[in-house]
Amino acid sequence: MGADFHELNGFREEAHPDSFCLPRAKDLVSAVQEAEDYTLVQLLSSTLPDKKKAEVLIIDVVCDGVPSQNQVGIKYRERLALWVPNDAAALIEVLALRKSFPVLMHQNNGTHNGPASLCLYFEPISTVTRTWTPQRFLRRIQWWLEQSAKGELHPADQPVEQLFFASNFELVLPWNFDELRNKEDIKMALVRSPSRPDGGCTFCLKPIGSASNLSKGLASYIELTLPTLVQGLVERDPFTLGELSSLLAQRGVNLLPLLNAALSDGIGSGGVPIGDVETCAVIILHIPMVREPGGDVQRIACRAFLISENVHQLGVKTGALTLHEKRYFAVAAKVEGSFLAHEPVSEWKDEPIFPMSVLKFPDSPAALKQSSVNYKGPRGVLVGAGSLGSAMLNLWTRSGWGEWSVIDKDHVKPHNLVRHIAFADHVGELKCNVAAELSTAATDGAVKVTAINGDACDLGAQTIQESLRNANLIVDASAALDFPRQSSFQSNLPRHATVFVTPNGNGSVLMMEDHDRKIRLRSLEAQYYRALIRQPWGARHLDGNLSTYWSGASCRDISVAMPYSRVMVHASTLAEQVMLNTQADAANIRIWDRDAETGGISTYNIEPKPERQLDFDDLAVFFDEGLAAHLNELRLRALPNETGGVLLGYYDFNVNAIVIVDALPAPSDSQASYGSFERGTVGLLAAVQEASRRTADIVGYVGEWHSHPPGHSATPSRDDVVQLVEISLGMHMDGLPALQLIVGEDDIQVLQGKMKS
pLDDT tens-digit profile of 71-103?
A: 889 999 999 999 999 888 889 999 999 988 987
Lowest mean per-residue pLDDT among 22-36, 256-270, 541-555, 689-703: 541-555
Q: Are 422 and 431 in contact (CB under 8 A)?
A: yes
Alpha carbon distance 233, 213 (integer Å): 43
**Mean pLDDT value across the chain:** 86
Q: Are 532 and 542 in contact (CB under 8 A)?
A: yes
Alpha carbon distance 518, 586 (integer Å): 10
**Is 642 marked active-site?**
yes
Share of the chain residues as helix, strand and coil, in percent rounded to the nearest 5: 30, 30, 45
Percent of the chain beyond pLDDT 70?
A: 88
Residue 163 has pLDDT above 70, yes or no: no
Alpha carbon distance 436, 322 (integer Å): 48
pLDDT at residue 140, as a whole number? 95
Residue 151 has pLDDT above 70, yes or no: yes
Residue 195 has pLDDT above 80, yes or no: yes
Alpha carbon distance 636, 111 (integer Å): 62
Higher pLDDT, 337 or 552: 552
Strands of 473-476's sheet in order across:
450-453, 403-408, 379-383, 473-476, 496-501, 507-512, 588-594, 601-606
All residues at 6 or more sequence positions from 204 whose CB lies less than 8 Å from its CB, including other chains: 171, 172, 190, 191, 193
Dihedrals phi, psi of 173, to nearest 5 degrees? -95, 155
- Which candidate in 55, 78, 278, 642 is catalytic? 642
Lowest mean per-residue pLDDT among 2-6, 101-105, 415-419: 2-6
Name beta bridge partners: 138.
none
Alpha carbon distance 737, 667 (integer Å): 23
DSSP code string of 665-697: PPPTT-EE-SS-EE---TTHHHHHHHHHHHTTT
Alpha carbon distance 56, 8 (integer Å): 12
pLDDT at residue 554, as a whole number? 46
Average pLDDT over residues 683-696: 96
Task: With CA atoms as reference, report the closest residue to 726 among 703, 749, 706, 699.
Answer: 703
Task: With CA atoms as reference, report the closest residue to 169 among 101, 235, 219, 109.
Answer: 219
Residue 619, classed as helix, strand or coil, is: coil
pLDDT at residue 686, as a whole number? 97
Average pLDDT over residues 19-27: 91
pLDDT at residue 340, as a whole number? 39
How do strand 403-408 and strand 201-207 relate by DSSP bridges?
unpaired
Alpha carbon distance 726, 268 (integer Å): 94
Three-state helix/strand/coil letters over 20-89: CCCHHHHHHHHHHHHCCCEEEEEEEEECCCHHHCEEEEEEEEECCCCCCCCCCCCCCEEEEEEEEECCCC
All residues at 6 or more sequence positions from 122 whose CB lies less than 8 Å from its CB, including other chains: 555, 556, 558
Average pLDDT over residues 495-505: 94
Lowest mean per-residue pLDDT among 120-129, 569-578, 584-593, 744-753: 120-129
Entry field: residues in the chain: 757
Dihedrals phi, psi of 396, to nearest 5 degrees? -65, -50
Q: Are 381 and 404 in contact (CB under 8 A)?
A: yes
Higher pLDDT, 278 or 600: 600
Residue 392, classed as helix, strand or coil, is: helix
Average pLDDT over residues 747-753: 94
Dihedrals phi, psi of 223, to nearest 5 degrees? -110, 125
Residue 65 has pLDDT above 80, yes or no: yes
Name beta bridge partners: 558.
550
Instruction: Report how far apart, in Å, the C-alpha atoms of 136 and of each of 18, 32, 58, 94 are.
Output: 23, 11, 18, 14
Higher pLDDT, 52 or 558: 52
Domains contained in the chain, CATH given: 5-150 (no CATH), 169-360 (no CATH), 367-606 (3.40.50.720), 613-753 (3.40.140.10)
